[in-house]
A and B are shown apart, each in its own frame.
Chain A
Amino acid sequence: MAKNSMADLLEIKGLKIEATSYPPGEKPREVVLVDGVSVSLEKGRVLGLIGESGAGKSTIGLAAMAYGRGGVRLTGGEVLLNGRNIRGAGPVTLRALRGREVTYVAQSAAAAFNPAKKLMEQVIETCLLHKVMTRPAAQARAVDLFRKLGLPNPESFGNRYPHQVSGGQLQRAMTAMALCPKPDLVIFDEPTTALDVTTQIEVLAAIKEAIRDQGVAAIYITHDLAVVAQVADDIMVLRHGKTVEYGSTDQIINRPGQAYTQALVSVREIAHVEKPPAAPILTVDAVTARYRGTNFDVLKRVSVDVAPGQTLAVVGESGSGKSTLARAITGLLPPHQGAVTFAGRRLSPDLAGRSRDDLRELQMIYQMADTAMNPRQTVGTIIGRPLEFYFGLKGAEKARRVAELLDQIEMGKGFAERYPAELSGGQKQRVCIARALAAKPKLIICDEVTSALDPLVADGILKLLLALQAQEGVAYLFITHDLATVRAIADKIAVMYRGEVVRYGAKSEVLAPPFDAYTDLLLSSVPEMRLGWLEEVLGSRRMESAGN
């Protein structure tokens, strides 16, 4: 950490950020988003801001260019950039420094680019606006940056439109945009969160390389400690708008001082002993499926099975057909070849042909608990409906069972009267679990159920799912792209790639060498919680490709 404040590029002292909240039907009230946060950043160094959603990390990041998103006000403290306080500076000053001294890389590159303009125009726009360099110079610099960021055909890359390049390439193009005007400070706001692990590692390496090469300072915002450990020199752990711990990356990762940081570092270290193989309850046999009106098979002869009381994890990157497999099993997308056998019965391919017991015994939990619950129904109604629908429970008996289920998901019966909007993200997902459980299912399909949650909350959900499996003997088909989650809960694993199962077997077999090329790439791309991991992986990949 910097001790000499004179040399600091950015120094934030006692920053306080407030906003007005408008809860429905209540009086507006002031909320403090960030309170008393101080950081300092030297030229050429990277500061990682980490914390769960709502911790204020993005808000602090944007405050570094004295910007507050709609209704957010920077009410106290100092934001010193190159020695002058920019908090409360006028629009002329701010316009001169934003996009010139400080630039920003947003989480979703797809949403941040103008789809109607070519990439080159957008990448060099700030350079021209701020008259940093002439158009030919800016274009030459952009091409140079494209090359350094490992983009294909750097000379002509800028002639493409945003929709003509992949998500990972677009994210790198935005990094080029941010670096083009030679800023002093770049704010990276979750730049790799929306990407697949196999893409993330490339973007991460490119960003790290570019930061070092250009000698800029950076603030790197993420919720993934393993990612930030690869790029940051210092890390600040935030929670509820306050600093939990602030130190060098080495100290935070290897010697975390606070209990919260320790929990973040040791997250997903659930020990799960693989269960012995057993006769399957669900058999998916050579299922091929395509969407209506297309002739492209999104699932190609997929065969997997799940044993009672066990977990099959289906892993793969986006577009690999994981969720389509779930839709084929549930009957939402009737497969056009192959068969699904469940509890000894051959299931009708489409939903309409299935008996009430078929439906009851095969439940599903969704990724976004927000949209999986009707906002106009209380928790009691949401959990109570399957009880009423499948078992005909009414009145006191139903209420008693709802209370029981709420106990099982470690929430009290007081929650029965609440609406989904009054629950936290983790609580919402728990209610969805209770709704699935209410049907007394034999198998629950979990579609990325922890992906939208903060690491610690996700950890809690996984532990709950494991406990419920032990109690109720329910089997899970667990769809995820996160290999840490797979290690924590799976008995068997199916690796999917482009609609096919490329590797399938018991967890110990799938995760042990020898690997096929794709599984190797997938496994080695998952960030590990230690310093120097990124260099190691890239080094070994370079050696492999040299060896070939």
Chain B
Amino acid sequence: MRIPFSAMLGLGLTALMVLAAIFSPLIAPYGLNETVGKVWENPSAQFWLGTDTIGRDIFSRLVYGGAVTIFVALASSALAFSMGAFFGFLAAVRGGWIDTGLSRLVDVMMAVPSLIVALVVLSVLPLTLTTLVLVMGVLDSTRVFRLSRAVAADIAVMDYVEAAKLRGEGQVWIIFREILPNAMSPLVAEFGMRFIFAVLFISTLSFLGLGIQPPLADWGGMVRENKDGLIYGKSAAMVPAIAIAVLAIAVNLVADWVLSRTTSLKGGRNG
């Protein structure tokens, strides 16, 4: 199997960022909230990416912030997938009023822009990491629901599923042994996409001040803290913004590759 260059690049960058997030205390030269230099210093040998609006090392904050951003995005995508895929499969397999009920509920949720719902909910609820993950996960699960319902509905009418029903198999076997293995490929590719949207979403929330709260840092929050520097030609706000873009592109490249390899439902050993 040959991995194309774009996918290699994506895999490399993603791995680099994930590793940096996992080993952040070992990599970051300074503490997260340590004021170590002057305000908005330019990049130098001492401060690789310069310092921020109150003189903290941007590189260190980038590494710590990456860990928070990636963790929150990953946790909320995982939640969105477990919920969305479970209910989506259930709706497709059971049909009838379960399908109608769930689908209309999702329609209602999707009719209101997620950002507005998130802003309202988060301004009422206490702002903790758990709330953030829950709110984002539930909002995102509507998209996963739609996809998994569509994919499972295609599979549920196949003769092999009918054969399993005629054999007398239960719901659990049908969902996990007949449908899930055939639905994995589109779902895996979609996971990459949803993860990226989660990264962008949490960054947006933090930029608006309703996401990650100090003393924790994340990339969206860092853009917000340093945005005034742009007026004075300081790069401090650009660095976390570029980090968000690079992560988004890297994961997308991997997701594209997964999708292009596995769009066929025909199967095979390596499919």
Q: Do A and B come from one complex?
A: yes
Number of interface residues of A (CB under 8 A): 30
Note all chain A residues with C-beta closer than 8 A to B266: 24, 375, 421
Number of A-B residue pairs having CB atoms within 8 Å of each other in the complex: 69
Asked if B160 lies at the interface with its beta carbon under 8 angstroms from chain A, I say yes
Q: Known contacts A24-B269, A374-B182; is A366 also within 8 Å of B166 by CB?
A: no
Task: Determine whether the beta carbon of A332 is less than 8 Å from that of B166.
Answer: yes
Q: Does A124 touch B at the CB level, under 8 Å?
A: no
Chain A, 96-134, contact with B by CB distance < 8 Å: what is the 0/1 string?
000000000000000000000000000000000000000
Cross-chain contact B159 with A371 (CB below 8 angstroms) = yes
Question: Does chain A have a CB within 8 A of B113?
Answer: no
Provide the residues of chain B in CB contact with A371, threshold 8 Å.
158-160
Q: C-beta contact mask, A264-287 vs B, less than 8 Å → 1, else 0?
A: 000000000000000000000000
**Is residue B126 contacting chain A, with contact meaning CB distance below 8 A?**
no
A448 to chain B, nearest CB (A): 12
**Given B160, B162, B165, B267, which contacts A421 in the complex, CB threshold below 8 Å?**
B267
Closest to A378 in B: B269
List B contacts of A359 (CB < 8 A): 166-168
Nearest residue, chain A, Cβ from B261? A24
Knowing A332-B166, A385-B167, A389-B168, the reply to whether A24 touches B159 (Cβ < 8 A) is no
Closest A residue, CB atoms, query B2: A27
Interface residues of B in 219-271 (CB under 8 A from A): 264-271
Of the listed residues A363, A368, A376, A435, the one surrounded by the most CB atoms of chain B closer than 10 A to its CB is A376
Whether, in the assembled complex, B181 has its beta carbon less than 8 Å from a beta carbon of chain A, the answer is: yes
Q: A374-B181, A376-B182, A386-B167 are in contact. Are A419 and B269 (CB under 8 A)?
A: yes
Q: How large is the interface on B (under 10, 10 to 19, 20 to 34, 35 or more residues)?
A: 20 to 34
* B159 contacts A376, C-beta separation under 8 Å: no
Per-residue CB contact flags for chain B residues 156-172 toward chain A (1 = under 8 Å, else 0) read 00111011011111000
B182 touches A375 (CB 8 A): yes
In Å, the complex CA distance between A94 and B182 comes to 43
CB distance from A317 to the nearest CB of B (A): 22
User: In this assembly, does A372 line the interface, its C-beta being within 8 Å of a C-beta of chain B?
Assistant: yes
Q: Is A3 an interface residue, CB under 8 A from the partner? A: no
A376 with B168, Cβ < 8 A, contacts A364-B163, A368-B159 known:
no
B1, B159, B177, B181: the one within 8 Å of A366 (CB):
B159
Interchain CB contact under 8 A, A351 and B165: yes
- Given the complex of chains A and B, what is the CA–CA distance between A435 and B167 in angstroms? 11
Judging by beta carbons under 8 Å apart, are A351 and B159 in contact?
A: no
Binary CB contact string for chain B from 140 to 181 against chain A (1 if under 8 A, 0 otherwise): 000000000000000000111011011111000000011001
By Cβ-Cβ distance, the 9 closest A-B pairs, closest first, are A25-B270, A375-B267, A376-B181, A372-B159, A24-B268, A359-B168, A371-B159, A374-B160, A366-B159
Query: Which B residues are within 8 Å of any A CB, using their own CB?
Result: 1, 158-160, 162-163, 165-169, 177-178, 181-182, 264-271
